Amino acid sequence: MTRLIFCLLMVGVPGLLQAQSFGVGSMGGPKIVLPPTIFLSDVSGRRAMDEWKSDLVKGTPFFIQDWAYSQVTLKDNRSFERVSIRLNCVNNTIHYQNANKEELVAPSGLIREILLRDSSDKGIREYTIVSGYPPIDKFNEETYYERRMNGKAQLLVYTKKRLMNIQTMGSAGKEQEYFSVEMIYLYKDGIIKEWKKDKEFLIDFLSDKKDELTEYIKKEKLKCKTMEDLKKVLSYYNINS
């Protein structure tokens, strides 16, 4: 839980930056950007279980295996730069490193959004991890999704990882490996639905532009069964909304 020091932070931190925040779960006020040291001293997480650190299991339970310096935004609109973060896709929790480099799990519902920056030899790739969406299936407002497209209509991906027992040829015994499954959701006007791979679903979900979308899909010869087609339709819709 966070301590009640928000007012002190607003007046007591030199070089305080402000940026406007938009999106699901936002309080609508300015985003207050603060140093990571305040996050580490203000957030009391619980210790992570050692099972995530096993070297005997293939794959990773995390969205990205390595720690990534990220921008973290809390539900009260405080934002922190360069916090070491990773998303656990087995139980949909946020892990972070404290000042002593200990791995902790953030309290449920505390973090609203993460801009996760993954560095590789191909450069830096950014992922936006968000919560605050309406309940659907077994998910609730505290569930974290990767937001791949933003706008009036949003494209959300929920990644679920499971530890599976596998038997390989020539192996003396069973091995364990993490496997992932992606579930695709669309969000618009307070409504979230799981994506169905057909034209009718998209036209119905984006019904305020029904005629324009019907013509666009026909013109582009889209079958709306692939992620590429889905992104084209959502992009067209958002541009013309």
- Closest CA relative to residue 61, chosen from 71, 48, 47: 48
Q: What is the pLDDT of residue 25?
A: 46
**Are 160 and 201 part of one and the same domain?**
no
Three-class DSSP labels, 167-187: CCCCCCCCEEEEEEEEEEEEE
**Are 165 and 234 part of one and the same domain?**
no
- Measured CA to CA, the distance from residue 112 to residue 143 in angstroms comes to 10
CB hemisphere CA count around 32 (13 angstroms): 20
Residue 48 pLDDT grade (very low, low, confident, very high; cuts 50, 70, 90): confident
For 47-53, the CB contacts below 8 A with 24+ separation are 47/102, 47/103, 47/104, 47/105, 48/95, 48/103, 48/104, 48/105, 52/88, 52/95, 52/103
- Does the pLDDT value for residue 36 go beyond 80? no
The pair of structure tokens assigned to 164 is 């599976």
**Are 167 and 184 part of one and the same domain?**
yes
Q: Which of 195, 210, 228 is the C-terminal boundary of a domain?
A: 195
Q: What is the pLDDT of residue 29?
A: 62
> Which range (2-6, 130-134, 144-148, 214-218) has the least confidence?
2-6
**Are 190 and 201 part of one and the same domain?**
no
The pair of structure tokens assigned to 202 is 């998209």
Residue 39 placed within a domain: yes
**Are 27 and 48 part of one and the same domain?**
yes
Q: What are phi and psi of 198, to 5 degrees?
A: -155, 160
Query: 113 and 87 in contact (C-beta within 8 Å)?
Result: no
* Structural domain of 208: 196-241
pLDDT digits (tens, 9 = 90+) for 72-124: 999 989 999 999 999 999 999 999 988 888 899 999 989 999 999 888 777 88
Residue 28 placed within a domain: yes
**Are 191 and 205 part of one and the same domain?**
no
Residue 101 placed within a domain: yes
Helix 210-220 to helix 227-239 angle, to the nearest 10 degrees? 140
- Measured CA to CA, the distance from residue 126 to residue 149 in angstroms comes to 13
Residue 217 placed within a domain: yes
The highest-confidence range among 107-111, 118-122, 147-151, 161-165, by mean pLDDT, is: 147-151
**Are 16 and 132 part of one and the same domain?**
yes
Q: What is the pLDDT of residue 3?
A: 40
Stated as kind and residue range, the H or E segment containing 9 is helix 6-12
- Does the pLDDT value for residue 22 go beyond 60? no
Residue 1 placed within a domain: no
Global pTM reads 0.83
Query: 48 and 105 in contact (C-beta within 8 Å)?
Result: yes
Residue 155 placed within a domain: yes
Q: What is the pLDDT of residue 85?
A: 93
Please classify residue 102 by burial: count the beta carbons closer than 10 Å to its beta carbon, then call 0-12 exposed, 13-18 middle and 19+ buried. exposed
Query: 84 and 118 in contact (C-beta within 8 Å)?
Result: no
Number of structural domains (the chain) is 2
**Are 241 and 176 part of one and the same domain?**
no
Average pLDDT, the chain: 84
Higher pLDDT: 229 or 44? It is: 229
**Are 177 and 200 part of one and the same domain?**
no
**Are 169 and 224 part of one and the same domain?**
no
Residue 203 placed within a domain: yes
pLDDT digits (tens, 9 = 90+) for 170-206: 666 678 899 999 999 999 999 999 999 999 999 999 9
- Measured CA to CA, the distance from residue 88 to residue 218 in angstroms comes to 41
**Are 156 and 210 part of one and the same domain?**
no
**Are 110 and 132 part of one and the same domain?**
yes
